[in-house]
Structure 1
Amino acid sequence: MPDLYAPPLDRARGERLSWADYSADFWQRYAQIYERDSWKFERRQHFVEQKSPSRAALGRGDWDGALRLLEDRRESLRKAAEQDQRQRTVFHRVRVTEQPLTPYLQWELHSLRMKAEYDEIIRVIDAAHVSALEIDGLLPEVVVLGGQTLYEVVYTDAGVPDGGIRFTEPDLVRGWEDFIRTLFEGGEDIASYFEREVAPLPPPQLITE
């Protein structure tokens, strides 16, 4: 993989948003994208997704229920994919993984494989590819929308959503898009990764939160 450079994110140069404001701002801007692609970089190995029934089932130890509830999302994923096609936009995602997979990540990879069936283009990289950049801590969770807006998605130490920080400086946005694109080009497609590393796994152990 080529030499990597992740531009530093000085939070003081961005605008701090609550979770509700971040979500509203994200979807408003996403709806305005036309013929531009978006990129997401996911690094953490555990999140608490509070509005996901499937994720809640995982937290209760109901693995079969969690997978069944993921299947219930297919219609909404199909509609989202059709909207992206109308906007001529593609959402790319780079997912960092560590072995052994956490229960959360095992569940999320099922979700991501399904998203890839409809709309997103998703690739997986091993954490070793970014370890040299993490001497002072994990890289942030980042989304670049349409080449114009950069969000650092903020979580508590426990993985609970805690809003976002919006940046619009062109050089910073372009730098992170280039960084994620480089990782993406060296990553493995979610389909082949899933079949080799996820499909053979037994149900994960109960998550206690």
Structure 2
Amino acid sequence: MPDRSALELPVGQGERLLLDAYQSEFRQRRAELRDRQSWKFERQQEFEELDNSWEAFCRGHWEEALRLLGEEREAHLKTAQRDRERGTAFHRVRVVEEPLTPYMQWELHALRVQSEAGKEIRVVTPAALSSLEITGPLPEVVVVGSQVLYQVVYTEAGFLDGAIRFTDAELTRRWESFIKELYEAGEDLLPYFERRVAHLSPPQPPQPKAV
């Protein structure tokens, strides 16, 4: 496990990308990638989503929210198959704190659908990060093909707001190695879901926030 200092992301070394620019660049990099894997570290426990299922949940319609997540299965199957053909697996490490926030309970259902479709997702607890988070939580980070690192940025309300791009090779390597280490130590999403989530009653819907 690295020292926290090895994972610091100096803002002055990065380039801020607004939402549209980040999403466009991310899609292009992923589309052009061949025989290189990508790694995502997800830490926050509360977000807001511009998503039909999330919006249904916020209205108090839990069963509709789950149905809408299920309708995304075919798209996830196609993405997972494409990644296998190209050798471009996208690995996700999801930090999960218990008791679950309403958002996390919803997201774990979303991740279950993705995992069943063949996507590579594992869960770790905050205990795995205890020595690194003495001064605060780690940032949300994506490493694409060992080539570029994005620190994902959110608004105060919790909506995706772009990213800060870092291209320093050593910094990218350290974060990729760190996420790989967590992934190898983590638990596959599906057994975790069956053990800790499947039996839970529907959560109370959160109050939707302004964008």
Same fold (TM over 0.5): yes
Aligned residue in 2 for 1:5: 3
The one-letter code matched in structure 1 to 2:111 is: L
SS in 1 for 2:92: strand
Distance (whole Å) between structure 2 residues aligned to residue 207 and residue 192 of structure 1 = 27
- Give runs of aligned pairs for residues 6-85 of structure 1, distance below 5 A: 6=4, 7-50=7-50, 52-85=51-84
Question: Following the alignment from structure 1 to structure 2, what is the Cα–Cα distance between the partners of residues 137 and 165?
Answer: 19
Q: Tell me what 1:94 maps to.
A: 93
The root-mean-square deviation of aligned C-alpha atoms, in Å, is: 1.2
Q: C-alpha distance in 2, partners of 1:130/1:86?
A: 33
| Runs of 4+ residues over 4 Å off in structure 1 | none
Among all aligned residue pairs of Structure 1 and Structure 2, give the percentage whose two residues are the same amino acid: 52
**In structure 2, what is the equivalent of residue 157 of structure 1?**
156
Q: Please report the TM-score for the alignment, with normalisation by the length of structure 2.
A: 0.94
SS at match of 2:131: helix
* Structure 2 spans left out of the alignment, 5+ residues: none
Q: 1:196 to 1:59 in 2, by over 3 A?
A: same
**How big is each residue's C-alpha offset from its partner over 1:24-63, in whole Å with a ceiling of 9 and x where there is no partner?**
000000011111111000000011111x101111111211
Partner in structure 2 of residue 168 of structure 1 = 167
Q: Map of 1:118-157 to 2, 5 A cutoff?
A: 118-157=117-156
TM-score by length of 1: 0.95
Which amino acid in the other structure matches residue 65 of structure 1? E
Alpha-carbon distance between aligned partners in 2 of 1:157 and 1:137, rounded to the nearest angstrom: 17
Shift of 1:83: 1.8
> Is the Cα contact below 8 Å between 1:91 and 1:119 reproduced in 2?
no
Deviation at 1:87, TM superposition (A): 1.3
Instruction: Summarize deviations over 1:138-181 as a string: whole Å, max 9, x none.
Output: 11000000111110000123211111011111101110000101
CA distance in 2, matches of 1:79, 1:189: 21
State the Cα distance separating 1:85 from its structure 2 match: 2.2
